[in-house]
Structure 1
Amino acid sequence: MRMPETLSLVADIGGTNTRVALARGDAVDRATIRRFANADFPGLGPVLVRYRAESGNPACAGACVAVAGPVDHGVARLTNLDWTIDRAAVGAATGAERVAVLNDLQAQGHALGHIAADCLRPLIVAEGSGRTDGPQLVIGVGTGFNAAAVHEAPGGRIVTASESGHASLPVRTEADLRLMRSVETAHGFAGVEDVLSGRGLERLHAWAASEAGRDELLGASAIMAAIAEGTDPVATETARAFLRLLGTVAGDLALTHLPFGGIYLIGGVARAFTDHFDRFDFAAAFRDKGRFSTFMREFPVSIIEDDYAALEGCARYLSAAAI
């Protein structure tokens, strides 16, 4: 059921920033996008109230927010921020009667097929049958880590939620075991997100420095700058380990969901590594599945370079959903 074109408010709430915009029907008005630092607000409600006030308090028939955390019956708790978001609160802050709360990767999944070609960069070209039907998979690497499978069904698109970032960090080598032991001291458990995320990159670099007999604590931006410069062996080893582990995890997710329609990496950390995927042979790590290595060539991988794809997904979902 496609709803008539109306004005809606859409928001993408990450662990660090919240992006808010207005949409007409299923199209985001990009001129209306505003970014807010989460640290400046006690919760999402004040962000939305501020946005509406600065935008002239537009009347919004619908509102859809994408949240970096699990959503249960319209209630979301951010994984990396002490905010709880529910439909009633979003409705009160926006004045909207039709309200949806999605996991942020679900919103990204609803945007697939509606992203400009120049915002998609191929990382791995499929070498198998060339089939493009079947599920798609979105993998987010940013403040946190998560993934969502996208299925086309007779009743419309279905994007399944998950918390893939909190699955176990894969261990294949003695070095991986030492890394896991180092990482698990923080929470008692070494999850994927503890390495494959912004803060995870910092943990990985600190561990690589320790392995090299150095005591260093660098921020993610400084680490990426050192990786790009290419003269620091610790930074180089950090990048190599990061992309090898990302390839391993992405490959595991590919075998779980069989996304012949394509795999799409999103998020600020994934984009920061764009120029390094070939340099550190991400494709080899992705396909390193023993007797299934040839099968892994069936899956194309691209990176989404549109920072506002989740907003587009929110607008698409709200326009198509009967809520």
Structure 2
Amino acid sequence: MAHPANTYSLVADIGGTNTRVALCEGRRVLGGTIRRYSNAKFPGLEAVLSQYIADEGGVDTKAICVAVAGPVRDGRAAMTNLDWTIDKPTLARAAKAETTAILNDLQAQGHALGHIDAANLRSVLDGPAGNERAAKLVIGVGTGFNAAPVFDGETARLVPPSEAGHANLPIRTEAEMRLCRYVETAHGFPAIEDVLSGRGLERVYAWLGEEAGDPRPLKAADIMAAQSAGTDPRATEAVKTFVRILGTVAGNLALIQLPFGGVFLVGGVARAMAPYLHEYGFGEAFRDKGRFAGFMGNFAVSVIEDDFAALTGCAAHLVDLESRRG
């Protein structure tokens, strides 16, 4: 397929297992150009990008932005489960692009806000509409947990990096204290991510088994399948526990950041939990802040169900970079 030279930008979403790559025109990701590559088949990101460029007919791109499942600092990304070098010189060399950018994957989700089709937003809690520059909050619940505020200035959007999943779990009840003691054996203290993640759901299920004197492990996907089928009361209780703690943590983060523009849940686990958030008390836990309970009604909450939102965020970030350069 022939593409016009120096017209499109290249965007990529790099996970621990797969990398998705696409071309974009402005903030619009070109759906027909999205390709997925297994990371295990490539020695590094440069090889993936070279393969993609060849698969797209040797396309000559003008800019590149990648979203990485790991921390980014000083233009260099580190991934927990992938020994790849991801830095701006690598991107420039692979894509032969004049503009390069690297984002944490949650930052990319933040840059996507406002550019996602309304059909891909599931409302969880209603709230008053904020003005277009009101702060927003994106919360990622998937393999791990993270959260980041989203600030819109006059000329660009700022989504600062964060590692919110490694903060301590909030504790409201004796049962939650016992859960904290159970999960702290993983890393020496009870972090939010030790419960609010895919592996975290498995730990909640295992803890409930210990509490009942009937310990047995179950994978997260199987827990959600049992919950959906109604075949395992313990799976239902694990999901209920997860949802309530997610509501408490999301409410805490909302009070810290004051996202009058909305709270947005993203990630595979968030999407899997979406059908149960209302039924199992997410809203009650979110607003259970004593004298601030009424104030919590200022924050609408939605789940983003667009699997390609990180690519859209990368495209939007490149547009912001271009506008800042004048």
Report the TM range for the smaller structure's normalisation: over 0.9
Q: 1:274 to 1:10 in 2, by over 3 A?
A: same
TM-score (normalised: structure 1): 0.93
Structure 2 runs not aligned, ≥5 long: 1-5
Aligned counterparts, 1:74-93, within 5 A: 74-93=75-94
Q: Structure 1 residues 293 and 22, CA, compared in 2 at 3 Å: closer, same or farther? A: same
The 3 A distance-change label for structure 1 pair 236 and 43 is: same
In structure 1, what residue type is equivalent to 2:269?
A: V
Q: Return closer, same or farther for 1:240/1:80 CA change in 2, 3 Å cut-off.
A: farther
**Distance in 1, Cα, partners of 2:164 & 2:241:** 19
Kept after mapping to 2: 8 A contact 1:110/1:316: yes
Per the alignment, residue 255 of structure 1 pairs with: 255
Q: Given that residues 157 and 320 in structure 2 are in contact (C-alpha distance below 8 angstroms), is that contact kept between their aligned partners in structure 1?
A: no
> Aligned equivalents of 2:85 and 2:146: distance in 1?
19
Distance 1:69 1:233, change over 3 A: same
State the partner residue of 2:143: 143
Where does residue 243 of structure 1 map in the other structure?
243
Aligned-residue CA RMSD in angstroms?
Answer: 1.7
User: Shift of the alpha carbon at 1:89?
Assistant: 1.3
Which deviates more from structure 2 when the two are superposed, residues 40-49 or residues 71-80? 40-49
Aligned residues: 316
CA spacing shift, 1:82–1:293, aligned 2, 3 Å: farther
Bigger drift between 141-150 and 202-211 goes to: 202-211
Contact 2:19/2:38, CA 8 A, preserved across alignment = yes
Q: Residue 35 in 1 paired to residue 33 in 2?
A: no
How much does 1:200 deviate? Answer: 1.5
Displacement of 1:286 after TM fit? 0.7
Q: Which moved more, 1:78-87 or 1:113-122?
A: 78-87
2:130 aligned with 1:132, yes or no? yes
SS at the partner of 1:35? strand
| SS state at 1:242 partner | helix
Which residue of structure 1 aligns with residue 233 of structure 2?
233
In 2 relative to 1, CA 82–177 (structure 1 residues): closer, same or farther, beyond 3 Å?
Answer: farther
**8 Å contact from structure 1 (residues 111, 313) kept in 2:** yes
What is the CA-CA distance between 1:44 and the residue it aligns to? Answer: 2.3
User: Aligned pair 1:20/2:29, yes or no?
Assistant: no
User: Is the Cα contact below 8 Å between 1:138 and 1:149 reproduced in 2?
Assistant: yes
Q: Tell me, what secondary structure is at the counterpart of 2:49?
A: helix
2:205 corresponds to which residue?
205
Is the contact between residue 16 and residue 143 of structure 1 (CA under 8 Å) also seen in structure 2?
no
Which residue is 1:183 aligned to? Answer: 183
Q: What is the aligned partner in structure 2 of residue 286 from structure 1? A: 286
Aligned-residue offset at 1:64: 0.1
For 1:69 and 1:170, the matched residues in 2 are separated by 24
Matches of 2:67 and 2:91, distance apart in 1: 11
State the one-letter code of the partner of 1:257: Q
Q: Give the AA of the match of 1:315.
A: A
SS at match of 1:64: strand
8 Å Cα contact 2:125/2:302 also seen in 1: yes
Q: Aligned with 1:66: secondary structure? A: strand
Structure 1 range deviating more: 131-140 or 279-288: 131-140
Report deviation, 1:83: 3.9
What secondary structure does 1:273 align onto? helix
State the shift of 1:250 in Å.
0.4
1:94 aligns with 2:95: yes
Looking at structure 2, the residues matched to 37 and 241 of structure 1 have their Cα atoms a distance apart, in angstroms, of 34
Question: Are the structure 2 counterparts of residues 297 and 28 from structure 1 closer, same or farther at C-alpha, using a change threshold of 3 Å?
Answer: same
Matching residue's letter, 1:200: G
CA distance in structure 2 between the aligned counterparts of 1:163 and 1:149, rounded to whole angstroms: 12
Higher alpha-carbon deviation: 157-166 or 303-312: 157-166
Contact 1:80 1:144 in 2 (8 A): no
Cα distance 1:252–1:38, how it changes in 2: closer, same or farther (>3 A)? farther
Give the SS at the match of 2:116.
coil
Percent of paired sites with the same residue? 59
CA distance in 1, matches of 2:13, 2:215: 37
Q: Distance in 2 between matches of 1:69 and 1:176?
A: 29
Aligned to 1:214: 214
**Offset at residue 81 of structure 1 (A):** 4.0
CA distance in 2, matches of 1:91, 1:211: 54
Find the aligned partners of 1:274 and 1:212 in 2 and give their Cα distance.
27
Aligned to 2:3: none
Report the TM-score, using the length of structure 2 for normalisation: 0.92
**What secondary structure sits across from 1:19 in the alignment?**
strand
Q: Deviations over 1:292-319 (max 9, x none)?
A: 1111111100111110011011011112
